Structures are given as structure tokens and as C-alpha cells.
Amino acid sequence: MRYMLLICGTPVPGADGCDDPLDEKTQAWVDEMTARGVRLSGSRLRSTATATTVRHHDGELLVSDGPFAETKEQILGYDLIECADLDEAIEVASKHPVTKVATIEIRPIWPTP
């Protein structure tokens, strides 16, 4: 089953970090999970200052800059993994070094036909 790991935390002010290499511990996690065959893809996200929100309201398209919700905690990145079950997904997420400073939300992905 496929799961999306949503990495949520509070960004460091003034540090977009999008061009910075991953720190050693995170890179080691990426390498290990890729070698195990459970990590399919993933990336960091640029800051919410670069976000665009799109929705329809009363038949009208609304496009706005930034995130829809004002919150301190943001989605900072994601990893798409494939595991046998939720227990394995929890084990994979628990090894991610970001869990020491942020949270990881594990969401199962609907299978596609």
C-alpha cells in the first residue's frame, strides 16, 4: 500500500532552504529507504510565501497568493512510500530524523485503477 508522509513543522524565519542540500541524517534516511525499496519519491517544498491557492466559490474561480489557512505549522515536504501495511509505514516514518523537530502525518493513498 502507498502512503504519503506529510512533513509538518514551523519553518525557520528567513531560511527557505530549497537550494540547500539535505542534512546528513536526512540524506542517510533517504538513502536507506530508497535502498529498501519503500521510498518512491519525495521533496522539500518552498515556503508558503510562494504558494498559490485555487478554488471555486459560487461558480467563480478564486486565485490567491499564499496558503488558504493562516497557521504557524506548515507542510515542509513529503515522501511517497510503499509499505506492506501501516505498521511498516510507522516504522519507516519513525526513523526519519525530522521527527525530532517536526511531525510526520502518514496518509494512505487511494489505489488507482
The confidence score (pLDDT) of residue 16 equals 55
Domain that holds residue 80: 2-11+22-108
Decide: 7 and 98 in contact? Cβ < 8 Å: yes
What are the residue ranges in the chain where pLDDT is below 70? 12-22, 67-71
Residue 26 lies in a domain: yes
- What's the CATH code of the domain at 71? 3.30.70.1060
Decide: 104 and 93 in contact? Cβ < 8 Å: yes
The confidence score (pLDDT) of residue 32 equals 97
Closest CA to 83 of 104, 44, 109, 103: 109
Please give the tally of structural domains in the chain.
Answer: 1
Residue 61 lies in a domain: yes
Residue 67 lies in a domain: yes
The confidence score (pLDDT) of residue 51 equals 86
First to last CA, the chain: 13
The confidence score (pLDDT) of residue 109 equals 96
